[in-house]
Structure 1
Amino acid sequence: MLREKIEEFRHVFKLDPAKNISDEALEALSTSGTDAIIIGGTDDVTFANTANLLYRLRNCLVPCFQEISTPTSLVPGFSAYLTPTVLNTEDARWILGMHHQTIKRFGSFIPWDKVLLEAYVVLNPNAKVAKRTNANTNLQIEDVIAYAQMAEWLQIPIFYVEYSGTYGRVDMVKEVSSKLKQTRLFYGGGIRGQSQAEEMAKWADTVIVGNLIYDDWIKAIHTVKWVKSIKRGEKK
C-alpha cells in the first residue's frame, strides 16, 4: 500500500517545476540513493512545466510524487499524488478549498488509491508559501504539537513541518516527533550541510531537501548519505 511505502522513506528530494535544472543534475539526483522525488512548488507551477519535468525523469528508478499546487497543474503518470492542507493558515482555501476545486474538476479521473493527504504547518514567515497561504507562523512548540496531534487523530498519514528556505528549530521537531505514533513526520527547510542533515534526521522520519539542489546539486546529493547514516530517534 501507498501509506506503507512512504514509511520506508528517510530522504526525499523536492523539485520545483518552475526552476531550471540540468539533465546531468536530474540524473545524479535520481541515482543518488534518495528514496523518492516530489515535484511541486509555490509560484508559476503549471501543467506544462510539471509534465515536462516528469518526462525528463521518465527513466527515474525511484518513485516520483506530485504535490498538487493548483487544480490546473494535475498531471497524470506520477507514482502517487500528495494533496497538502495547511493547518495553520487563516484562509480556508488552503485547508480544503483547493482540494474541493481539484475534485470538482478532475474527480472522475483521480486515481484515489494513489492519493495521500499531507498536513502542513508552515513556520518561516518570510517564505513564499507562508505569504501565499496566509499562514500564522507565530506559533509556540505547544501549538505545533497540537497541530501534529490533530493530524494523527484525523489519521492524516503525513505531518509536514515546513521551514522553506531557513533551518528550523530542532527542539520543536524533537517534541513533535515524540507525540506522533502513526503519522509520518516530514521535515523540510534549510538543510545546507552535514550537521543540519544529521541533526534533523535524528528526529524527523523523512528529511526533504529542496532549495540546496538549485544552489549546489552536488552538495545536495551528499545529503542522502548524511541523512541515512543517522538512526532515527525512538518515539516515546
Structure 2
Amino acid sequence: MIDYSGWRHAFKLDPDKWIDDEWLERICESGTDAIIVGGTLGVTYDNTLALMSRIRRYAVPAVLEVSSLQAVVPGFDAYFIPLVLNAGDPDWILQPHVTGLREYGAYIHWEEIFTEGYLILNPESAAAKRTAARPVADTEEAKAYARVASKLCRLPIFYVEYSGRYGDPRWVAACRSGFEEGHLFYGGGISTPEQAREMASVADTIVVGNIIYDDPKAALATVEAVKDL
C-alpha cells in the first residue's frame, strides 16, 4: 500500500503522448515522489499497458488515475478514482463508478484504491468539456466544494485541476483552508521552478504534466524547486 501523505511532487504522464526512453528514465529517476498515469482523451488499455510496462523498469511509485474503465490495467501500485464534484453531467460524479463496481467489484484490492474529489477550474480544458464542468464563481465557492469533499464525503484527496493552464494560488489556498483533514493535490500549467514553489506553498502535492512533452528540462527543474522548500 502506498503512502502519498509525504508526496510533494508528482509527474503525470499521458498514455496518448509519446516520451522517448532517455527522457522517461530521467523523469522517473528525477527524485519525484510518484508517477501518475492518466489523461482525458485517447487513453486505451493498450497504450496504458505499454506506458506502465516502461515505467516499471524504475523504482518510483506508479499510480493510475482512472478515466476510462476500458483502460484499467493491473500492475500499478495504486489507483486514483476521480469524482468530479463540479461536473455538470451527473454521470461523471458516480455513474461510471457504479458501472465499474458492477463489473469488477469482486476483483478489486481495496487497499490500492483512493478516491479524489476533483474540482476542475479551467473551463476551456478537455476535462471540463468532457464532464460539462460547472463554473466556480469565486474562492468562497471553491472552498465550499473543498468542505463538501472533506466534511460530507470524507474523501482522502482533493484535486484542484486547472488542466493545462496555470491557476490562481489564492483559489488553491482557499481550497486548502476548506479541505482540512485530507491531502490536497494541485495540477495545471506548472512550467517553471517559481511556479512549482508557489503552488507547493499552498498545496500538499504539485502535479507536473504538459511541460514534460514541451520542455522536459524545465519539467525536471520543478523537482528540485519543490524539494528545496
The normalised TM-score by structure 1 is 0.94
Aligned to 1:172: 171
Q: Distance in 2 between matches of 1:91 and 1:174?
A: 27
Q: Distance in 1 between matches of 2:179 and 2:134?
A: 22
Question: Residue by residue, what CA displacement relative to the aligned partner does 1:174-219 show, whole Å, maximum 9, x if unpaired?
Answer: 2222233221110000101121111111010000000010101121
Q: How does 1:15-164 map to 2 (within 5 A)?
A: 15-153=13-151, 154-164=153-163
Q: Distance in 2 between matches of 1:194 and 1:157?
A: 27
Mind listing any 5+ residue stretches in structure 1 that lack a counterpart? Answer: 231-236
**1:137 Cα offset (Å):** 2.5
Question: Is 1:11–1:227's contact at 8 Å kept on the other side of the alignment?
Answer: yes
| Further displaced range: 97-106 or 15-24 | 97-106
Q: Where in structure 1 do 4 or more consecutive aligned residues deviate above 2 Å?
A: 178-181
Aligned to 1:189: 188
Question: Is 1:70–1:102's contact at 8 Å kept on the other side of the alignment?
Answer: no
Question: Is 1:71–1:105's contact at 8 Å kept on the other side of the alignment?
Answer: no
**1:84 Cα offset (Å):** 0.4
Percent of residue pairs identical: 47
**1:53 Cα offset (Å):** 0.3
Mind listing any 5+ residue stretches in structure 2 that lack a counterpart? Answer: none
Question: Residue by residue, what CA displacement relative to the aligned partner does 1:101-137 show, whole Å, maximum 9, x if unpaired?
Answer: 1111211221111000001000101100000000012
Q: Distance in 2 between matches of 1:27 and 1:112?
A: 30
Q: Distance in 2 between matches of 1:174 and 1:137?
A: 18
Question: Residue by residue, what CA displacement relative to the aligned partner does 1:82-115 show, whole Å, maximum 9, x if unpaired?
Answer: 0001000111111111111111121122111100
Question: Is 1:17–1:41's contact at 8 Å kept on the other side of the alignment?
Answer: yes
Question: Is 2:84–2:119's contact at 8 Å kept on the other side of the alignment?
Answer: yes
Q: Distance in 1 between matches of 2:135 and 2:48?
A: 29
Find the residue that maps to 2:207 and give its secondary structure.
strand
Letter in 2 for 1:215: D
Question: Is 2:136–2:142's contact at 8 Å kept on the other side of the alignment?
Answer: no
Q: Distance in 1 between matches of 2:101 and 2:41?
A: 21
Letter in 2 for 1:194: P
Aligned to 1:201: 200
Q: CA RMSD in A?
A: 1.0
Find the residue that maps to 2:6 and give its secondary structure.
coil
Question: Is 1:35–1:62's contact at 8 Å kept on the other side of the alignment?
Answer: yes
State the number of aligned residues.
Answer: 228
Question: Residue by residue, what CA displacement relative to the aligned partner does 1:143-176 show, whole Å, maximum 9, x if unpaired?
Answer: 1101101111122011000001111111111222
**1:41 Cα offset (Å):** 0.4
The normalised TM-score by structure 2 is 0.97
Question: Is 1:151–1:183's contact at 8 Å kept on the other side of the alignment?
Answer: no
Q: Distance in 1 between matches of 2:42 and 2:99?
A: 18
